């Protein structure tokens, strides 16, 4: 069965330091992968996605994620974080099944410290 694991529930990091938020999934079929960000008391915003093609995808605000099929991972990275990156980050997986349903991970709270 399809599942998504975000092992780190909270990640504190100092401003300008690098960060990696981990996401692993399990699926027996082709998948699409997504990272969403949720700022306090707001909805979810799409950060980046992997549908096909290049396994390295980037967002406009400096985040990147790499699809690793052999390790079934889609970790999110940023080389230098800002205070404004403080938010909750959700990894989601959608199987290529025609229903476009997502399975979400439980989320990782990124806390950027001054």
Q: Interface residues with other proteins (CB under 8 A)?
A: 6, 9, 32, 34, 36, 42-46, 49, 51, 90, 92, 94, 99-107
Buried (b) or exposed (e) across 91-110, using 16+ Cβ within 10 A? bbbbbeeeeeebbebebbeb
Stated as kind and residue range, the H or E segment containing 11 is: strand 10-14
| Cβ at position 81, least distance to other proteins in Å | 22
**Pairwise CA distance, residues 49 & 68, whole Å:** 13
The least distance separating other proteins from the CB of residue 94, rounded to whole angstroms, comes to: 6
Q: Closest CB to other proteins among 8 and 15?
A: 8
- Helix H or strand E segment including 111: strand 108-113
Least Å from the CB of residue 80 to other proteins: 27
Cβ distance to other proteins smaller for residue 45 or 80: 45
Q: By C-beta, is 61 or 106 nearer to other proteins?
A: 106
């Amino acid at each position: 069965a399809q599942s998504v694991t975000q092992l780190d529930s909270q990640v504190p990091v100092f401003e300008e330091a690098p960060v990696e938020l981990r996401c692993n999934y399990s699926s027996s079929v082709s998948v699409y992968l997504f990272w969403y960000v949720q700022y306090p008391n707001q909805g979810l915003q799409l950060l980046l996605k992997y549908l096909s093609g290049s396994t390295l995808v980037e967002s406009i605000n400096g985040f990147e994620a790499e699809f690793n099929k052999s390790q079934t991972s889609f970790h999110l990275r940023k080389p230098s974080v800002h205070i404004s990156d403080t938010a909750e980050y959700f990894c989601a997986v959608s199987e290529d099944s025609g229903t476009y349903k997502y399975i979400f991970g439980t989320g990782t709270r990124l806390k950027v410290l001054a």
